[in-house]
Homo-oligomer: A and B are copies of this chain.
Amino acid sequence: MTNIRDIARISGYSVSMVSRVINRKNYVSPATQLAIQKVIDQLDYVPNAVARDLSRGRTQNVGVVLPHSDHPYFTQLVHGIMRAAFKENYHVVLLPSMYDANIERRYLEDLRQKAYDALIFTSHGLPLSELVHYQQYGTIVICENSHETQLPAAYAERQASYVQVFQHLQERGASQIGVLASRPLEVSATTQAMVQAYTTVFGHELSAANIFTGVTTPQDGQRAGDYFIQLQPTVDAILTNGDDIAIGVRQAYQRAGVTPPYLVGQEHQMSGEAINLPTIDHHFGEVGAQAFQLAFSEQLRQVGIASHFLLSPR
């Protein structure tokens, strides 16, 4: 592996001159520039990226922690982060966590070890206090409205659209309503937002029996469907946590020969379009782009992106 010193030696110039030629920085006389470039070309030399990172003290890498990569929330978010990162010449490193606390901690340690300039948690299992603690080692951005003002955050402002959904259901005369969520009420800001919106609209708390959690895939949606089919009293409507998942719910009902209740999706996916499903578009791409901006600019701000309830037909 030929290095910068080889080029210096062979060209008869110093290492710093070679560095200047490589980086097209500072003053280099045309003659020198030419002579050095010639040697570089002859030896097919390129500078080592890792050595550069070390010397510069940064990596141009942003780590993105993902509980699972097969969910539209994450793919859309990653897409937005990528778009924004590309513009600033940053690279996106995907970090699967499966919500495992030890894995999440390892990524925090990686940040501390300067493997990334910043870390974006698209979601997290660790308590916020741990994330806050690691801020001293590098920028950390979260993608939820935690009301934790010590961490920069970009998130979907879901409350208003959840309220709209429940108002819409109320207007349709629905009284028994099911809700699907990825994670339990206690740990998820999203689940809390849904339940809170319900209370706002209906004036009473949503029965725990009407909340089905642990749902991330259409298959989970089928399980949820099976659950609601046998639930008494029967639900009139279900707010699902994804259009794809709503399809899963629908399939469960269809297979059981039961007419499905009124379904509402989320994420605005094509599966919803296919059956004219009402849905919520959370604009996760934009959320991701904002998350990257926060990471990049190192601003301690909370940025909410308004969600939109889309009633079919659109």
B-contact 0/1 string along A234-253, CB 8 Å cutoff: 00000000011001101100
Q: Binary interface profile of A, 57-90, with partner B (CB < 8 Å = 1, else 0)?
A: 0010100000001100001101100110010000
How far, in whole Å, are A51 and B243 apart by their CA atoms in the complex?
Answer: 46
Residues of B within 8 A of A70 (CB): 75-76, 79
A50 is contacted by which of B53, B79, B112 (Cβ under 8 Å)?
Answer: B53
Of all chain B residues, the one with the shortest Cβ separation from A242 is B270
Question: Roughly how many angstroms separate A54 CA and B95 CA in the complex, as a whole number?
Answer: 21
Q: Is the CB of A93 within 8 A of B96?
A: no
Copies of this subunit: 2
CB distance from A46 to the nearest CB of B (A): 5
**Residues on the B chain within 8 Å of A141, using CB:** none
- Chain A 267-302, CB-CB to B under 8 Å as 1, else 0, gives 001110111000000000000000000000000000
Q: What are the interface flags for A38-51 relative to B under an 8 Å C-beta threshold, 1 for contact and 0 otherwise? A: 00000000111111
For the complex, is A91 an interface residue (Cβ under 8 Å from B)? yes
Which among B50, B82, B112, B273 is the interface contact of A94 at CB below 8 angstroms?
Answer: B82
Give the docked Cα–Cα distance between A92 and B51 (Å). Answer: 20
A69: contacting residue among B54, B59, B61, B78, CB under 8 A: B78
Q: Does A200 contact B (CB under 8 A)?
A: no
In the complex formed, the residue of B with least CB distance to A111 is: B49
Instruction: Report the separation of the CA atoms of residues A218 and B274 in the bound assembly, to the nearest whole angstrom.
Output: 11
Taking a contact as CB atoms under 8 Å apart, the answer to whether B273 and A270 are in contact is no
A175 at the interface (CB under 8 A from B): no
Rounded to whole Å, the gap between the CB of A283 and the closest CB of chain B is 14
Q: Which residues of B contact A248 (CB under 8 A)?
A: 270
Say whether A109 faces chain B, with CB atoms less than 8 Å apart. Answer: yes
**How far does the alpha carbon of A113 sit from the alpha carbon of B112 in the complex, in Å?**
25
Q: Is A15 an interface residue (CB 8 A)?
A: no
Given contacts A49-B114, A79-B69, A271-B274, whether A94 and B92 have CB atoms under 8 Å apart is yes
Across the interface, do B54 and A50 meet the contact criterion of CB distance under 8 Å? yes
Q: Return chain B residues, CB-CB under 8 Å to A218.
A: 270, 273
Q: Is the CB of A205 closer than 8 A to any CB of chain B?
A: no
Neighbouring B residues of A79 by C-beta, 8 Å: 69-70
Residue A115 at the B interface, CB < 8 A? yes
Q: A75-B75, A273-B247 are in contact. Are A46 and B112 (CB under 8 A)?
A: yes
Say which residue of B76, B92, B114 sits within 8 Å of A48 (CB atoms): B114
Q: Check if A110 is an interface residue, CB within 8 A of chain B.
A: yes
Known: A54-B51, A270-B269. A94 touches B78 (CB 8 A): yes
Residues from 17 to 51 in A contacting B, C-beta threshold 8 Å: 46-51
| Neighbour of A274 across the interface among B48, B50, B75, B274, CB < 8 A | B274
7 nearest A-B pairs in the assembled complex, by CB-CB distance = A49-B115, A244-B270, A271-B271, A270-B271, A49-B113, A274-B274, A92-B94
5 sample A-B contacts, Cβ–Cβ < 8 Å, listed by A number: A83-B96, A218-B270, A247-B273, A269-B270, A275-B275
